[in-house]
Amino acid sequence: MIKYQRLINACLLWMIVSVAMAQTSTNSPYTRYGFGELSDQHFGNSKAMGGIAYGLRNGLQINAANPASYSAVDSLTFIFDAGMSLQNANFKDGATKVNAKNSSVDYIAMQFRLFKKMGMAAGFLPYSTVGYNMSQTASISSDEYGNSIDATQTFTGDGGLQQVFVGLGYKFLDNLSIGANFSYLYGDITHSAATSFNNSNAFSSIRTDKISISDYKLDFGVQYTHQLAPKHVLNLGAVYSYGHDLHSKGYYYEGTYDSSSNLQSQTGDTIKNAFSLPHTFGVGATYVYDNRLTVGLDYTLQKWADVDFFNKSNQFTNRSKISLGAEYLPDYNGRNYFQYIRYRAGVYYSTPYAKVNGQEGSREYGVSFGLGLPLFRSKSVLNISGQYVKVSPKVKGLLEENYLRLNIGLTFNERWFMKWKVD
């Protein structure tokens, strides 16, 4: 028990340090729009397989993307899972290139059997992240002496939305399970745009938009398992996330200042309940051979086009994502360590939800490779994966982004509830 306590303490310390490092987990200018960059909601094994999750059913891994999977955990097992990411981002605008390094906490969760046929999970997941600081200067006119008058626009943003969740999964037939996640969604997002001039007689201006959200989020899932043959299993999964108006506040402020930074004029207002969540639908299938080979395909549709933002419609477009992934375990009864390693790979493609200057934003492509490394001659696993992500704009002239991301997750999986007998 002492080594388990040390392991948990090490995990908690690791996550605290990660939180301190991850105050800004993105530098993308595209987070200027909407709620920012949406988190993928996936855990370590799923990240390495391109993000497939809806049909994954494994009692040794937490799968928050489909709460019906919680019922797969056995009565003796307690799972603690935590993960973080380190990334290097490259932003390209014509001949100009900029690099940035970030880190983020991706998830913290636990799972265990609550009752017969019912599993429970609880944890923390980011929902979205905002973080950017950019500026541009352009000559707009000349004064009476022929000197150029330049205008500098500076855009900054930070914040994000987080969620803590509790989920239940129940197996009410031998091959059919249902589940639900009940989440508390909260967070603040700030966007600012300032304009200044190099002319001492010109006024400067600033506009700030702030979003504050505190409300619930509901996700439902179902999984169906079909035995094709003694060693061949097909798992089908489907999920639905309820879209609704959010308990929220939207605040905007506009101010004009003279060359001495004295306020000349200001306007502002607070708008209540000005935001909403989209209805989300997802389906997926995984084929499992002999508990050693898993191949899966997922599709997700988020109805962002129906969502209001600051009480305005037509701000977003529907987002879709398709993922393909696989995992291979050479031999779970093998004689050497490499036969126990789980080898994973995957790809995905997604369309944007936010519009940029009224037009559809950038498409995203991703490829991933990873390993599931068993620890301590037990069922605990260190999940490591690398991702390459390319964000490619549909409209010429927009920024291109490339990411190299390292995902690290620890799944602590032990039989805590076993009753020992002494003869």
Q: What is the DSSP string of 384-410?
A: EEEEEEEEEESSTTS-EEEEEEEEEEE
Instruction: Say if CB 234 and CB 241 are below 8 A apart.
Output: no
Beta bridge partners of 206: 194, 255
Secondary structure (3-state) at 339: helix
Query: In which band, very low, low, confident or very high, does the pLDDT at 23 lie, cut at 50, 70 and 90?
Result: very low
pLDDT digits (tens, 9 = 90+) for 87-138: 898 888 766 778 888 888 899 999 999 888 999 999 999 999 998 888 777 7
DSSP characters over 153-192:
EEEEEEEEEEEEEEEEEEEEETTEEEEEEEEEEEEEEEEE
Query: In which band, very low, low, confident or very high, does the pLDDT at 22 lie, cut at 50, 70 and 90?
Result: very low
Indicate the pTM of the whole model: 0.88
pLDDT digits (tens, 9 = 90+) for 151-210: 788 889 999 999 999 999 999 888 999 999 999 999 999 999 888 777 666 677 888 999
- Domain locations in the chain? 2-414
pLDDT digits (tens, 9 = 90+) for 27-75: 788 888 889 999 888 999 999 999 999 999 998 899 999 999 999 998 8
Superfamily of domain 2-414: Outer membrane protein transport protein (OMPP1/FadL/TodX) (2.40.160.60)
pLDDT digits (tens, 9 = 90+) for 331-375: 877 778 888 899 999 999 999 998 887 777 789 999 999 999 998
- 95 CA to centre of own chain: 30
Locus of tokens 């061949």:
232
Q: What is the predicted pLDDT for the residue at 196?
A: 79
Query: In which band, very low, low, confident or very high, does the pLDDT at 415 lie, cut at 50, 70 and 90?
Result: low
Q: What is the predicted pLDDT for the residue at 237?
A: 97
